[in-house]
Every structure is written in C-alpha cells, then in structure tokens.
Amino acid sequence: MIDPGTGPARAANCPGGVGQCQEMSPAWLPPTGNPYNAPTMFQNPEIPLDTLPSVDSVQWQALAPAYKRLRQLQALLVAGAASVPLLIVTFLAGLAALQVVFIWLTWAILSTALLLWPTLSLPRRGYVVRDRDIIFRHGVVWRSVTAIPFNRIQHVETSSTPFDRKFELATLQLFTAGGSSGDLKIDGLESRTAEQLRVFVLQKTGASIEHA
C-alpha cells in the first residue's frame, strides 16, 4: 500500500509539487483537512429550554362573536327538546311531589349550565396564523394546543350548516398526509375569514382544495 504522505500519492495531492506540500499544515493535507471528502461527524447540539419560543407570547385570534349566540341557541333548543319527554314522563308516572320537584330542579340546573357553557368555553378558544404553521387552542378543563405546519397539509376545506349560514359562520378543516378526518377543525369563524384562511393555506401549500 502506498503511503498517501509519500511518493506519487503525495505528489498527486500537492498540485504545486512535493516542495509546496511541505509548507502546508499539516504535512500533505489540503487546507480543508479532509482529503478524501469524508462526511463530517453528525452533530446534535442541545438547545436550552429557555430559548424555545413560547406559545403564550402569540396574539390569539378570537372566534366570531356570533358563534356564542349560535351555541346558546343550540343549547336552548336541546334543553327545550329534552323537556318535552321529561314532562310526559313525570305526568304519566304518578310520581310524588318531592320526586317531581327533584327531577325538574335537576333539569333546570343542567339546562342553565348548558346555556352558560359557551360563555365559559369560547373565550378559551382561539387560533394563530403564522408564516409556517397555524395553531389552535381549546378546552376548559382539558386544554389542548394543536399546531399544523403548512408543509404537512394535503387538503383544506370550509363547510357550514344551515344554522352557520344564518349567523354567517363557517368551519375550516385542515387535513394532513394520511389523515382520513380533519386533523384540525376550527369552527365559529366568520364566513369571510374562513374563506380568506382557505385561500391563504392554498397559497402556502398548493394543496387541492374542495370548498364544500
């Protein structure tokens, strides 16, 4: 085997001749110190936790104010629909007065909680659109924050129910690769805002769009 530091191999690595190689440091190596173009060693430096970006520092965008009225209307309809069979049961069952009072008092408490729930939950919902992703948070007791990078989005669509259209609202759904259902669903958006977000995501991802 020929020593790369001597003989023809050394001359081949020294375009100006062996004499010039002696002036190089170290010995015959090129200035890069990597004569065989070997891959550099993998590096994975540690990142201090205090340098990570904070989600709390972003400016959360609230949902449409009309969404609260829609949710309260839906709760009122549910409570009203539930009261009809409850009224029939308590009338035909021949229950004692104390039992009837207990049943209706429980129904009143649950209906009130159902009506007040949007006031508590909706202020804790919000979204943020950034240059590379979109973030959505929700939850009162169990809170969740979801971030979807634009380069993972394969499909995006907007949809609306008859009630949504009455209040000029729409829902935005984002689908990532391999997902069969929406990976991120943001309801309670103004129709105009939902359409603007749909077009923006389309420009960012180039994904196929189906506007329901």
- Structure-token match 């979807």, residue found: 148
pLDDT band at 211 (very low <50, low <70, confident <90, very high): very low
Domain annotation covers residue 183: yes
| 106 shares its domain with 131 | no
Domain final residue pick, 86, 107, 123? 123
Residues 6 or more apart whose Cβ sits within 8 Å of residue 18: 10, 11
pLDDT reported for residue 17: 52
Residue 53, preceding bond cis, omega within 30 degrees? Answer: no
Domain annotation covers residue 181: yes
End-to-end CA distance of the chain: 72
What does the pLDDT look like over 57-72, one tens digit per residue? 788 999 999 999 999 9
pLDDT reported for residue 2: 47
Range in 6-10, 106-110, 169-173 the model is least confident about: 6-10
pLDDT reported for residue 199: 93
Domain annotation covers residue 30: no
Domain final residue pick, 76, 100, 123? 123
Half-sphere exposure of 57 toward its Cβ, with a 13 Å CA cutoff? Answer: 4
| 115 shares its domain with 129 | no
Domain annotation covers residue 133: yes
What does the pLDDT look like over 100-140, one tens digit per residue? 888 889 999 999 999 999 999 999 999 999 989 999 999 99
Domain annotation covers residue 165: yes
Averaged pLDDT of the chain: 80
Domain annotation covers residue 102: yes
Range of the domain at 190: 125-209
Give the Cβ contact number of residue 7 at 10 Å: 11
Distance, CA of 164 to CA of 191 (rounded, Å): 9
pLDDT reported for residue 155: 87
pLDDT band at 43 (very low <50, low <70, confident <90, very high): confident
Domain annotation covers residue 41: no
Q: How far is CA 43 from the centre of its chain?
A: 29
Q: Could you tell me the CATH number of the domain that includes residue 188?
A: 2.30.29
Residues 6 or more apart whose Cβ sits within 8 Å of residue 10: 3, 4, 18, 21, 28
| 105 shares its domain with 162 | no
Q: Can you tell me whether residue 40 is helix, strand or coil? A: coil
Q: Can you tell me whether residue 188 is helix, strand or coil? A: strand
Domain annotation covers residue 24: no
Question: What's the residue count for the chain?
Answer: 212
Number of domains in the chain: 2
What does the pLDDT look like over 179-208, one tens digit per residue? 555 589 999 999 999 999 999 999 888 643
pLDDT reported for residue 119: 93
